[in-house]
């Protein structure tokens, strides 16, 4: 992690500064984020988040992927500021209503429960944005993935952007160039694109998100040539050409509840269910090599995924006196 990259170990102040500096590289807002942020104001916060995430995961194993996705969909819109959690209020339209989020984004009740407990323990101290970041890390670990120190100190936004949600998040049928551009706008590079896409090693997708690959990929009534025909035939049995939009399918058909590098192995044999997944192997020599690398080396994938998650969690945070610490993650305090 950040602190392990530093050689200054004599003075606590110097070590802390070094940690902050490393985390802030590429994003000045990250200068104010560090893992020990709540050590004196709410030291039990990480343990509370972890325990409630564990309980939710035991009740519904799908929840791990949902909480991980929640962090991604938060950070790509206005930064990691919990704007995705806000309900529609007055003239503000919730990001939950955007095309990428409606009928699919979930985990809000888990965040609500965590916030309720934290407000009783440490009133108006731990932000909703930090809860989402911690829950994403804990969900990854619970499913067998890597852990990482989560830089903390984010504050919560005062508004949401449904337009930003519609525009900034890559769509399931995106081209690789579109995906890379949207990541680049957030300060993330092509290595981050491939590593973070590996989150699709767990979770589900809906029929409506990949139907075109089965029946009409290019508008000429022909299936996607880059989808394994045998796999496609199986998918068609539960994803008809019309209807069944909400039918769920594993993103990783081999180990759907285990966080591992099987996702990349699937891409090698054209078993990536989403167009936005398989293009990593078919549309760029650079991303293809990374897919091959991670398919071969799980440890390397885990290492890069953790680094990229810290980097993503550092996108444009509200710090200092910006924003607020919401009492209820679904609405701003002056509501």
Question: Rounded distance, CA 70 to CA 114, Å?
Answer: 15
Are 81 and 154 in contact, with CB atoms under 8 Å apart?
yes
**Helices 45-59 & 63-75 angle (0-180, nearest 10):** 130
How many residues are present in the chain? 335
Calculated CA dihedral for residues 47, 51, 53, 57, nearest 10 degrees = 150
Contact 323, 156 (CB under 8 A): yes
User: Which residues are 156's β-sheet partners?
Assistant: 324
Q: Binding site membership for Ca(2+): which residues?
A: 74, 77, 79, 81, 83, 95, 201, 252, 255, 260
**270 near 226, Cβ under 8 Å?**
yes
User: What is the distance between the alpha carbons of residues 155 and 322, in angstroms, rounded to a whole number?
Assistant: 7
Are 246 and 206 in contact by the 8 Å Cβ rule? The answer is yes
Q: Measured between alpha carbons, how far is 140 from 85 in angstroms, rounded to an integer?
A: 20
Catalytic residue selected from 40, 71, 73, 334: 73
Torsional sign, CA 241, 246, 251, 253: negative
Known catalytic membership, residue 71: no
- Local structure of 280: helix, strand or coil: helix
Catalytic residue list: 73
């Amino acid at each position: 992690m950040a602190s392990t990259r530093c050689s200054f170990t004599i003075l606590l102040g110097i070590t802390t500064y070094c940690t902050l500096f490393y985390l802030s590289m590429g994003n000045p807002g990250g200068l104010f984020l560090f893992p020990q942020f709540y050590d004196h104001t709410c030291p039990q916060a990480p343990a509370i988040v972890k325990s409630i995430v564990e309980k939710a995961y035991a009740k519904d194993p799908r929840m791990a992927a949902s909480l991980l996705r929640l962090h991604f969909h938060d950070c790509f819109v206005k930064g990691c500021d919990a704007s995705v959690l806000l309900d529609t209020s007055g003239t503000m339209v919730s990001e939950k209503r955007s095309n990428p989020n409606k009928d699919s984004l979930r985990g809000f009740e888990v965040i609500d429960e965590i916030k309720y407990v934290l407000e009783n323990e440490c009133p108006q101290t731990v932000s909703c944005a930090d809860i989402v970041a911690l829950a994403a890390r804990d969900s990854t670990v619970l499913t067998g993935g890597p852990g990482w120190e989560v830089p903390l100190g984010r504050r919560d936004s005062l508004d949401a952007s449904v337009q930003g949600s519609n525009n900034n998040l890559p769509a399931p049928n995106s081209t690789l160039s579109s995906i890379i551009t949207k990541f680049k706008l957030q300060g993330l590079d092509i290595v981050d694109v491939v590593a973070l896409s590996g989150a699709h090693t767990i979770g589900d997708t809906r029929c409506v998100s990949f139907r075109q690959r089965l029946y009409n990929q290019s508008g000429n009534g022909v299936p996607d040539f880059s989808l394994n025909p045998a796999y496609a035939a199986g998918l068609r049995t539960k994803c008809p050409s019309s209807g069944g939009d909400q039918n769920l399918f594993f993103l990783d058909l081999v180990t759907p509840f285990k966080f591992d590098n099987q996702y990349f192995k699937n891409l090698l044999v054209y078993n990536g269910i989403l167009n936005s997944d398989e293009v990593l192997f078919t549309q760029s020599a650079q991303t293809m090599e990374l897919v091959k690398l991670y398919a071969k080396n799980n440890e390397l994938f885990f290492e890069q995924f953790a680094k990229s998650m810290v980097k993503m969690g550092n996108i444009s945070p509200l710090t200092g006196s910006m924003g607020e610490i919401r009492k209820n993650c679904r609405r701003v305090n002056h509501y």
